[in-house]
Amino acid sequence: MATTIKEAPKVGMVSLGCPKALVDSERILTRLRADGYTMSPDYSGADVVLVNTCGFLDSAKEESLAAIGEAIAENGRVIVTGCMGNEAELIRAKFPDVLAVTGAHQYEQVVEAVHDAAPPGQGPFVDLIPARADLADVKLTPRHYSYLKISEGCNHSCAFCIIPQLRGKLVSRRVDAVLREAEKLVAAGTKELLVISQDTSAYGVDVRHEEREWKGHPVRTHMTDLARELGQLRTPEGDTPWVRLHYVYPYPHVDAVIPLMAEGLLTPYLDIPFQHASPNVLKAMKRPANEAKVLERLKAWRTICPDIAIRSSFVVGFPGETEADFQYLLDWLDEAQLDRVGAFRFEPVEGATANDLPGAVPEEVKEERYARIMEKTEAISAAKLQAKIGRTLSVIIDEVGEPDEDGDIGATGRSQADAPEIDGSVYLRNVPASLKPGDFVQVEVEDADAHDLFGAIAE
């Protein structure tokens, strides 16, 4: 009598929050696929839906709760994971029908909850079939770029942040494991690696920068050693992939990666969360207040690597921030001339020590300061991009459009100064039909606005 093997159960995924959470989602789905599950692109086709939540700000929590509610309404069988997982009581009180709640990067618990909710059902015979070695890891980003998470957690105790409560203290991945993953990603088609963590500069502090063997030589678990090794990777076509460093605190050893950028081994780009410039506000935030030295270092970095792009983010309206503090920040930005800037209005987060600080800034003042900082940084960005008109820049293609009525094809890409999702774009006109996402091209810049560049492939 023939045995019918039932169809593999399907899992849907809603992934919210930062790139670090996206990597968690990729790892969960990779593990589930290895266990025989398939992925569902919609609620209706899923046997169970995973919602990977963000809990960094109250507004993010509201978005997460809304996503859980939508999944419950559309599917009914929902497992919650991620940073809001530490508020299981709140989630269960609002949505008593959720099947399970787990915390951030608790992969085993999530997989176990999925097994309970929708058993793989392969049967004893199928379980004996070895897993296919040719199956690549699940990616939730386009094929040509990938996030490379090097550590989890954070040792800082910034007054406005609850990341250590959500994700714990710093835990660094083995440097040889990180390099093996990077090598595998590049071999599979990744042209751009985005190195992420809660604190990239602190990589390896928890393991005292232990050495591991890689390619016949020792490599320290340290940001500079890791960066140097990543710079040796090559794509199957022989190109040097872009390697972009995110969440870099400006510790002294960051100076050592700038020459690697000048040599072309690292993408000349640093994402540094300065958060503010006023010594008074930085002290209240429990962050290092060495803004003058930072300006000197920025100048030195640009001397070594003139094309380096600096991205940062700032909080306005932090408790106790005076008009003088805010003006200090604006003046500092005039000096710093950062390439890309994001700004956030201070928002209390349950569990953050900043909530108890005196001198709450009225909402209308926050809004006014937010508008002023965005006006300032937009003007700086516009001037910097105007200066690129006439230059030829290396660009990675993200998307190629359809021909218009005249047969012309447009494309969207990014320069080395632009990280995906958060920075600007380069818009190309009249590209060849053979162009595809992930291609590197040389682009002559013809025009610019406050955020984006426009041009054509150089002759």
Q: Return phi, psi of residue 259, to 5°.
A: -60, -30
Q: Give pLDDT, residue 335.
A: 95
pLDDT at 379 over 90: yes
Task: Copy the structure tokens of residue 113.
Answer: 């909850």
**Domains of the chain listed by start with CATH number:** 10-126 (3.40.50.12160), 145-386 (3.80.30.20), 392-457 (2.40.50.140)
- Inter-residue contact 173 to 206 (CB < 8 Å): no
pLDDT on residue 290: 61
**34: closest CA among 180, 181, 132, 177?**
132
What is residue 106's three-state secondary structure? coil
- Output b/e per residue, 335-354; b: 16+ Cβ within 10 A: ebebbbbebbbbbebeebeb
pLDDT reported for residue 25: 84
- DSSP H stretches of helix in 144-278: 163-167, 175-187, 223-230, 258-262
Mean pLDDT of 1-18: 73
User: Mean pLDDT, to the nearest integer, of 91-103?
Assistant: 90
Specify the DSSP element, H or E, that contains 116: helix 107-117
Report the chain's mean pLDDT, rounded to a whole number: 88
- The 10s digit of each residue's pLDDT in 276-290 is 999 999 988 887 656
pLDDT for position 224: 94
- pLDDT category at 247 given cuts 50, 70, 90 is very high
User: What pLDDT sits at residue 125?
Assistant: 39
**Confidence band (pLDDT; 50, 70, 90) for 2?**
very low
Indicate whether 124 pLDDT > 60: no
pLDDT of residue 337: 96
The pLDDT of residue 88 is: 86
* Bridge partners, residue 442, by sequence: 394
Average pLDDT over residues 298-324: 95
Confidence of residue 121 (pLDDT cuts 50, 70, 90): low
**Rounded to an integer, what distance in angstroms lies between the CA atom of residue 445 and that of residue 389?**
5
Is the pLDDT confidence value at 4 over 50?
no
Q: For 442-458, what is the mean pLDDT?
A: 95
Confidence band for 128, pLDDT divided at 50, 70 and 90: very low
CA gap 403, 398 in Å, rounded: 16
